[in-house]
Every structure is written in structure tokens, then in C-alpha cells.
Amino acid sequence: MKQLIATAAAAAALAAPAAPSLAADSPFEFTANVGLFSQYLFRSIRQTGGNPAVQGGFDFAHSSGLYAGTWASNVSWLQDFDLYTRSSLEWDFYGGFKRNIGDTDFYFDIGTIYYWYPGTKNPGVVSADTWEGYLGLGWKWLGVKYSYSFTDYFGARPTGQKTDGSWYLDFFVNFPVGETGLTLKAHYGILDVKRDGNRADATEASYNDWLLGVAYTVPSGFFKNTELGAYYADNNVKNGDAGTNFYTTPAGYNTAKDSFVVYVKKTF
């Protein structure tokens, strides 16, 4: 709870300043966002042990297609797995180039992202900090995104070997329902963690995951650009011979179990 309160205070402080005033014909665009989630899932894996998360970030884009941003959330998984003695924050930094292909509704997105987990590691623990590159292709409301890890995959070494070269393939749909403000969301992902052993001895970290959800964005008024949403996520992570899997904490909590999330998010 103290971690959540501290993160909430930090997010509120970040969200408080008004966005810089840019001329209407400026090629630059600046946005900020802050949200409250019933829990934080990353690729269907619970990052906060089923507890709420406060999240927020800033995005800066240029009409050429170049963009950069930062985003943060409270987390607990590094302490839940006894990897860090102190760590309650995930802070991401990303940048890339995204634009439509000619005059069509097809687009491409190429960029990189760094996941930073400040804190104190226990002796012998590999840093959870992770650097990925990604390439996305899409059309209007559907697309696919391939992410490749240049470092160990969030510090994971299930068999004691490095896991750089791991990848994640994300197929997604964000279908707007006419002018209602509703968006139907669906996702299917494939994670391949390199050199992750097998399921029997709970070293298999690779899995497939999926998500179904809906979101509503308020179109006008005081709550304009406020998004209310809910989604269900699950995966095919299986237990090994001992009844646990790679995503089970030392205390026996399965962070890979199916989850239902509700949230409210405001974009400025």
C-alpha cells in the first residue's frame, strides 16, 4: 500500500503541470496521460500481485513521424519473486518513427524501448532492466508488432543461460464502433524466451496469451478524453511436475493466472 500511495503521489505530481502551449500550425504535438488500473498486466502476467496500479506518461511527436515518450507504473513482482530487496517502480523510455505508407491507411512503426527498474538487487540476481527494439505494421484499427530483446528478457535466466534474443509477436485489433465512442479490443501474443528449458521442471517461460476488452472514450465536456475500459486476459502457461510454473512466486502466488482488469485513464 505504501508503494501504491507513493507512486500515486508521483503520478499526480507529474500530471499536474499543464501541457505546453503549442501553436495550432506547429509540427509538434505534446500529450500526457494518467490512469488508475485495478491491476497491471504485462503480456498477461501480473506485475502488481493483483493489486491496483497508478500509471502515467508523456508523449512528444513531430509531424514527420518521429516520436519519443516516457511512461511509469508501480510494480511489485521483483520483490514478490525475492529478486530485489527494494523495487516498486517500472519506468519506460521509448522513441521511434511512425507514419502512413503513402496515401493509404496502412502504416509502419519502428522504434526502441528501455524498461528500467530502479531498486536494490539481491546478490547474484541479474538486472531486470530490458532493452527491446520493435517493428509494427498495421491498417487502420488492426496490426501486428514484433519486439526483440537485446538483453536478458527482464532478468530471466530459467536455465542459467542468457535470454537475449527473446521475442514477442503481438496481433491486435482496436475496432471503433461507429461514432459511439466505444472501441472493441482484442489481442493474441506469442512469446519465445530463448533457452528457457521445459515445462516439467518449471523452467519454460515461453507462452501464448490473449485479451478481449472494451473501452469508452468521453467525447466532450469536463471529462473529455477520459477512457473507461475493461478487459479479460489469459495465457497457456502450464504448471510443471511440482504443480508450479516459471511465473509462480516463492510464496506460491501464480502471476500467470487469468485476470480481469477495469481502468480509468485521462489524456491531456
The rounded distance, in Å, linking the Cα atoms of 253 and 140 is 39
Domain boundaries, the chain: 2-267
Q: Is the pLDDT of residue 259 over 90?
A: yes
In this prediction, residues 195-206 reach a mean pLDDT of 95
User: Among positive and negative, which fits the CA dihedral 112, 31, 72, 170?
Assistant: negative
What is the structure's pLDDT at 8? 39
Look at strands 167-176 and 28-37 and give their pairing.
unpaired
For the chain, helix, strand, coil in percent to 5 are 10, 50, 45
The answer to whether the predicted template modeling score (pTM) of the entire model surpasses 0.85 is yes
Look at strands 226-235 and 259-267 and give their pairing.
antiparallel
The rounded distance, in Å, linking the Cα atoms of 99 and 252 is 45
Residue length, the chain? 268
In this prediction, residues 232-238 reach a mean pLDDT of 97
In this prediction, residues 194-208 reach a mean pLDDT of 96
Answer whether 149's CB lies under 8 Å from 127's CB: no
- Helical segments of 16-145, H only: 77-80
8-state DSSP, 126: P
What is the structure's pLDDT at 24? 57
CATH superfamily entry for domain 2-267: monomeric porin ompg (2.40.160.40)
- Helical segments of the chain, H only: 2-15, 77-80
**Residues 132-185: pLDDT tens digits?**
999 999 999 999 999 999 999 999 999 999 999 999 999 999 999 999 999 999
207 CB-contact burial (10 Å; exposed 0-12 / middle 13-18 / buried 19+): buried
Please provide residue 81's backbone torsions phi and psi, each rounded to the nearest 5 degrees.
-95, 10
DSSP string, 159-196: TSS--TT-EEEEEEEEEE-TTSSEEEEEEEEEEE-TT-
